[in-house]
């Protein structure tokens, strides 16, 4: 690793560190908080299958495209797009993709820090035994009380944001890599401990069946949309994160196998999180289709009824916090690398400024749960829901689709084949069909069906 701080000269220490870093970005609230509850609401097994199809047919090709562009450009996403558009004789306007990513990163991180803050708070709450033997009503009330207190939410959001900024300010090797070297192995250990616990909870068979039994009647057209949106969000696609991380990938790493490993790790961890959670919920006769409250109400309630529940409950929320921090640091990278490069600025300073803006934006999310809970925007959504909807359902799919389109159809001939090490022309064509046609069309379908109801709502 060089000591220079310029973006183009930085490299991950090895291919494995990139795999861990990208998996760290991918594995986050999306896997442990969101995936189990949307699988719960959409019927379990059949939804899991649809989700796997989306990961394979859309997620993997888009991730390959992003990492490939990143490594080819070796700059921040905005500069990479500028450089590659120029090299391919295309309009400089393609750099707008980089800007969309910066915007999406800001928006997502602003609320991500608030929800990660809840996880941090629940480490203490669970560990202190606050939920031991508590009634459903008491556990629900304590979550409601917490959400009703802006000061408490801000305190945890601030703490999480400070830690994130401190880590990213230290740079790729000393910040990102150091955090990843610690948090990822701990995350795996915690997950294994929780799986063993849930295996012995008495509800494992039921939880397992719920995750893998195909109940097609619970699947609606909406389930496809949700699965596709989740595939984007969970793999950190469509906003340049993987492009920014790809800029630091060593030249000799094979992109295809690397990306498949990352996607496999992410999927494995989402499924493992479901297998750790559902048995505990079933063992206590609770309802799995609880929506977002599954993690912060149902689970504490379930842990509260079980032997050593306080310890394992605290470990669960620690797992969630670790997963969130390694994703949060990746959300800043597109903007951070751009500012460092553009203004030759110090990473630390840029990190602090970005952090402050993001924190301030996050206050909107904090207030959405209390003082602004009645304030709604387009479609009757609160500030938090609007930011979440706009970033996840519009910016990410649009970004992902355009990035892949650019990578497959507009780069100079041979560049992709060379980056991917593809020599066989048939393989090259197969790749073009999957990544250049199937993936963008799939995303387009989902994208249109997401924004259509919104647009038609605006006309009326």
Residue 389's H or E segment, with its range, is helix 383-389
Distance separating alpha carbons of residues 236 and 234, to the nearest angstrom:
5
Per CB under 6 A, the segment of 24-32, 90-98, 163-171, 409-417 that binds ligand PHE is 24-32
CA distance 76 to 65: 15
Q: Which is nearer to ligand PHE, 28 or 364 (CB)?
A: 28
In this chain, which stretch among 20-28, 202-210, 378-386, 443-451 interacts with ligand PHE, using CB under 6 A? 20-28
Largest CA distance in the chain: 66
Smallest separation (angstroms) from ligand PHE to the CB of 345 = 22
Q: Does 10 bind ligand PHE (CB under 6 A)?
A: no
For ligand PHE, give the closer residue by CB, 58 or 134: 58
Q: Which is nearer to ligand PHE, 327 or 393 (CB)?
A: 327
Residue number, 65 or 234, with CB nearest to ligand PHE: 234
Q: In the Cβ-directed half-sphere of 134, how many Cα atoms lie within 13 Å?
A: 25
Is there binding between residue 26 and ligand PHE (CB under 6 A)? Answer: yes
31 interacts with ligand PHE by CB under 6 A: yes
Which span sits near ligand PHE by CB under 6 A: 22-30, 166-174, 437-445, 447-455? 22-30
Select from 352, 271, 236 the least CA-distant residue to 52: 271
Site for ligand PHE contains 239 (CB under 6 A): yes
The answer to whether residue 236 forms part of the interface with ligand PHE (CB under 6 A) is yes
**Interaction of residue 25 with ligand PHE, rule CB under 6 A:** yes
Cβ–Cβ < 8 Å for 106, 358: yes
**Are 371 and 387 contacting, i.e. CB atoms less than 8 angstroms apart?**
no
- By three-state DSSP, how is residue 135 classified? coil
Nearest residue (CB) to ligand PHE, 325 versus 439: 325
Q: How far is the CB of 360 from ligand PHE (least distance, A)?
A: 20
Per-residue x/- mask for ligand PHE, residues 312 to 351, rule CB under 6 A? Answer: ---------------x--xx--------------------
Out of 142, 234, 290, 368, the only residue in the binding site for ligand PHE (CB under 6 A) is 234
365 binds ligand PHE (CB under 6 A): no
Q: Which of 30, 103, 110 is nearest to 394 (CA)?
A: 103
Residue that has been written with the tokens 């008491």 in this structure: 138
Q: Which of 24, 28, 44, 45 binds ligand PHE (CB under 6 A)?
A: 28
Q: Which residues lie closer than 8 Å to 170 by C-beta, 6 or more apart?
A: 178, 347, 348
Give the residue with the Cβ less far from ligand PHE, 29 or 420.
29
Q: Is 331 exposed, middle or buried (0-12, 13-18, 19+ CB in 10 A)?
A: buried
By the rule CB under 6 A, 233 interacts with ligand PHE:
yes
Whole-angstrom Cα distance, residue 147 to residue 254?
Answer: 46
- Is 241 a binding residue for ligand PHE by CB under 6 A? The answer is yes
Q: Which stretch binds ligand PHE (CB under 6 A): 14-22, 25-33, 167-175, 247-255?
A: 25-33
* Residue 399 touching ligand PHE (CB under 6 A): no
Q: How many other C-beta atoms lie within 10 A of the C-beta of residue 271?
A: 19
Q: Is 107 in the site for ligand PHE (CB under 6 A)?
A: no
CA distance 447 to 84: 26
58 binding ligand PHE? (CB under 6 A): no
Cα–Cα nearest to 305, from 122, 187, 138 = 138
Please report, for residues 40, 246, 247, the alpha-carbon distance to residue 251 in angstroms, rounded to integers and kept in the order given: 42, 10, 10
- Alpha carbons 281 and 291: distance in angstroms, whole number: 13
Task: Give the residue, chosen from 108, 115, 243, 366, that forms a contact with ligand PHE under the rule CB under 6 A.
Answer: 108
Note whether 68 and 416 are within 8 A (CB): yes
Least Cβ distance, residue 29 to ligand PHE (angstroms): 4
Q: What's the CA gap between 330 and 357, in Å, rounded? A: 17
Q: What is the nearest approach in angstroms of ligand PHE to the Cβ of residue 69? A: 16
Total interface residues for ligand PHE by CB under 6 A = 15
DSSP labels for 34-58? IHHHHHHHTTTHHHHHHHHHHIIII
CB of 333 to ligand PHE, least distance (A): 9
**Contact residues for ligand PHE (CB under 6 A)?**
25-26, 28-31, 108, 233-234, 236, 239, 241, 327, 330-331
């Amino acid at each position: 690793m060089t000591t220079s701080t310029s973006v183009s000269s930085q490299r991950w220490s090895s291919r494995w560190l990139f795999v861990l870093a990208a998996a760290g970005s991918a594995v986050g609230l999306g896997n442990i908080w969101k995936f189990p509850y949307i699988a719960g609401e959409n019927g379990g097994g059949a939804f899991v299958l649809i989700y796997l199809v989306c990961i394979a047919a859309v997620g993997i090709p888009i991730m390959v495209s992003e990492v490939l562009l990143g490594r080819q450009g070796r700059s921040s996403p905005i500069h990479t797009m500028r450089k590659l558009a120029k090299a391919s004789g295309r309009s400089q306007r393609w750099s707008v993709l980089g800007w969309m990513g910066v915007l999406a990163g800001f928006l997502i991180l602003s609320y991500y820090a608030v929800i990660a803050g809840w996880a941090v708070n629940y480490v203490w709450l669970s560990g202190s035994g606050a939920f031991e033997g508590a009634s459903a009503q008491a556990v629900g009330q304590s979550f409601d009380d917490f959400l009703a207190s802006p000061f408490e939410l801000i305190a945890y959001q601030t703490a999480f944001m400070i830690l994130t900024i401190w880590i990213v300010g230290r740079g790729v090797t000393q910040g990102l890599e150091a955090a990843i070297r610690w948090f990822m192995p701990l995350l795996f250990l915690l997950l294994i401990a929780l799986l063993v616990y849930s295996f012995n909870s008495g509800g494992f068979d039921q939880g397992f069946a719920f995750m893998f039994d195909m109940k097609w009647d619970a699947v609606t057209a909406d389930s496809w949309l949700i699965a596709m949106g989740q595939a984007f969000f969970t793999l950190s696609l469509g906003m340049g994160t993987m492009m920014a991380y790809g800029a630091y990938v060593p030249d000799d790493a094979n992109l295809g196998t690397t990306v498949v490993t990352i996607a496999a790790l992410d999927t494995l961890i989402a499924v493992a999180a479901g297998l750790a959670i559902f048995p505990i919920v079933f063992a206590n006769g609770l309802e799995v289709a609880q929506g977002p409250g599954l993690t912060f109400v149902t689970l504490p309630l379930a842990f509260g009824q079980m032997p050593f529940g306080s310890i394992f409950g605290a470990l669960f929320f620690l797992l969630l916090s670790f997963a969130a921090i390694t994703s949060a640091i990746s959300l800043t990278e597109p903007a951070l690398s751009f500012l460092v490069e553009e203004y030759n600025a110090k990473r630390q300073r840029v990190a602090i400024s970005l952090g402050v803006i993001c924190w301030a934006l996050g206050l909107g999310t904090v207030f959405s749960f209390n003082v602004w809970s009645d304030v709604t925007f387009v479609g009757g959504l609160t500030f938090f829901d609007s930011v979440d909807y706009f970033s996840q359902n519009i910016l990410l799919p649009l970004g992902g689709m355009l990035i892949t389109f650019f990578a497959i159809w507009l780069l100079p001939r041979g560049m992709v084949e060379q980056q991917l090490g593809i020599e066989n022309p048939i393989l090259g064509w197969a790749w073009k069909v999957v990544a250049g046609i199937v993936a963008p069309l799939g995303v387009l379908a989902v994208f249109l069906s997401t924004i259509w109801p919104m647009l038609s709502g605006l006309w009326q």
